[in-house]
Amino acid sequence: MSELPDKIRTDFTEGSVLRSILKMGLPSMLGFLAQHIYAMADMFWVSRLPEAEAAVAAITFCNNFMWLLFALNHLVGPGSVAVISRRYGEKAFEDTEKAIKETLTLKLVFGAAMSLIGWYFLPETLYLLGAREEALQLGIGYGRILLIGLPIMYATYSIFTALRGVANPNLAMALMLGSNALNALIDPLLIFGWIGLPALGVNGAAYASVLSFSLTLAVGFILFRTNWTNVRLRLTGGASMGLASMWKIVRIGIPAFIGEATFSGSRLLITPIVAAFGTDVVAAYGVSTQLFVFGIMILVGLGLGLSSLVGHNLGAGKKERARSTGDQSILLGVGIMAVFGVLTFALAEFYLGFFFDSPETIRHGTELLRIWVIGFPFFGAFIMIEEIHVGVGQNMPAMVVNSIHGWGLQVLPAVLVTQVLGMGQLAVWWVFALSGVISSTGFYWYYRRGKWLTAKV
C-alpha cells in the first residue's frame, strides 16, 4: 500500500519558515557536499598518478562533456521536482507515487539514449575540447566507462529527488552519504590496485563511480518498498502510469533542458579557449572549478530541499509562506557564498598545493580563484532563485538567464578578450566573475516581480 496514516507524514508547511528551510535543505546540502567532496578526492587520487597533469586534464575534459549529456537529465528532473512535491503538498499520495514511477522510467530511457550517443561522439568531442595525446587517450577510457553507467546515474538522482519530494530529506541525505563513502572507499583501491586488486589508473575512478551508483539505486528502490518513506512504491496496483502525465513532467522540464544544454554548450566552447594556454592551466582550471562547484553544491543541495518546500507550500495554497521562504533562502545563499569566498581567497594557494607540486600550476589556480571569489555571493543568489522557480515548475526564466549568462556574458567576451584583444587567461577569469554579478542582478529583479507564485502544475 502507498497509503500511510496521516499522523506519520511529515508537513513542513507549518511553523518557522527558516526552520523548515533548514530541515528540508540541510540534509540535501550535506548529501551534495559529500558527493562533491568525493569528486574532489577523485581529483586528488588521480593527481597522485605518474601522469598527474594529463590525468587531471583528462577528467576535466570528460566532466565538461558529461555536463552536456546531463543536460537531458534536466528534461525530466525539474518537472519531477515540481510534480512530486506539488502532489505531496496536496496530499494526493497515490498521484505522488505515480509521478515517482514515471520519473524513474523516463530517466532510465533517456539515460540509455544519451549513453549510446555519448559513446559514439566521445573521441571527437574530447579532441574538439582540446584534449591531445595522453590526455585524450585517458579521457576516452575514463569517459566510456562512465557512459555505461549513465542511465543508472540518471535514475539515482531521481531517487534523491523523490525522497526530498515526499518530505524524507534525511533519507536522501543518508543515501547520498552512504553512496559517496562507498565511492571514496573503492576509488583508491581500483586506481592504485591496493589489496591485490588490479591497478586501473584513471579508469579505476570511473569503475568506482558506476559501481557505487548501481548499489545506491538498488538501496533506494528497497527504501521506497518499505514503510520508511512517506509514500511507498508498489510494483503493481495504484494509479497507472500514462503518456499524458509523463509528457507533463517532460513539458515542464523542456525550458530547463534548453537552458542547461545551452549553458553546457557554452562550457564546451570555453574549454578549448582555456586549453590554448597549456595543460598546466587546464589542470589548474579543473581543480579550481571543483572548489568553486563545491561552494555551488552547498547551495544546490540547500536549494533542492528548498524547491520541494516551495512546491509543498503552493500545493497547500500558502502563497505568502512560499514568498517568505524564497526571500529568506536568497539571503541565506548570499551569506553562505560570501563566507565561502573569503575562505577561498585566503586558502587558495594552500588548496592547490594539495593537488600539484608545480609552482606554475599552483600559481595559475590561485590567480583564478582569487578573481572568481568576487562573484561568489552573486552566484549564491542565482542558485537559490533558480531552485525556487524549479520548485514551482516555472523553468523558462532560468532558461533565458542561463543562455544569456553562458553565451552573452561568458563565451562572447572570452573570445573577444583572447582572440581579438590577445589577452591571457586572467582576462577569462575576470569574464567569469563579472558574468555572475550581471546575470544574478537581472535574475533577482525578475524574481521580485512574483510571477512564480502564480505558476500552475
- In order along its 457 residues, the chain shows pLDDT tens digits of 444 444 345 666 677 777 777 777 777 777 777 776 777 777 788 888 888 778 888 888 888 788 778 777 778 878 888 889 888 888 888 999 999 999 999 999 999 999 999 999 999 989 987 888 888 999 999 999 999 999 999 999 899 889 988 888 889 888 988 888 888 889 999 999 999 898 999 999 999 999 999 999 999 999 998 888 999 888 777 778 888 989 989 888 888 788 777 777 777 788 888 888 888 888 888 888 888 888 887 787 777 677 777 877 877 788 888 888 888 889 988 999 999 999 999 999 999 998 888 899 899 999 999 999 999 999 999 988 988 887 777 778 888 888 898 899 999 999 999 999 999 899 999 999 999 999 999 999 999 988 888 877 6
Check: pTM over 0.75? Answer yes or no.
no
- Residue 39, amino acid: A
User: In this structure, is residue 119 part of a structural domain?
Assistant: yes
C-alpha 82: how far from chain center:
17
Q: Domain containing 233: what range?
A: 15-454
Q: Cell digits for 109? A: 530511457
User: In this structure, is residue 143 part of a structural domain?
Assistant: yes
User: In this structure, is residue 357 part of a structural domain?
Assistant: yes
User: In this structure, is residue 3 part of a structural domain?
Assistant: no
**Dihedral sign for Cα atoms in the order 279, 402, 436, 383:** negative
Beta carbons of 306 and 24 less than 8 angstroms apart? yes
For the stretch 168-171, contacts whose Cβ atoms lie closer than 8 Å and that sit 24 or more positions apart, written own/partner, are: 168/10, 168/228, 168/229, 168/230, 169/23, 169/24, 169/25, 169/26, 169/27, 169/28, 169/305, 169/308, 170/27, 171/223, 171/228, 171/229
- Percent helix, percent strand, percent coil in the chain, to nearest 5: 85, 0, 15
User: In this structure, is residue 384 part of a structural domain?
Assistant: yes
Domain count, the chain: 1
User: In this structure, is residue 426 part of a structural domain?
Assistant: yes
User: In this structure, is residue 9 part of a structural domain?
Assistant: no
User: In this structure, is residue 415 part of a structural domain?
Assistant: yes
Phi-psi bin for 9: left (phi > 0), alpha (psi -120 to 50), beta?
beta
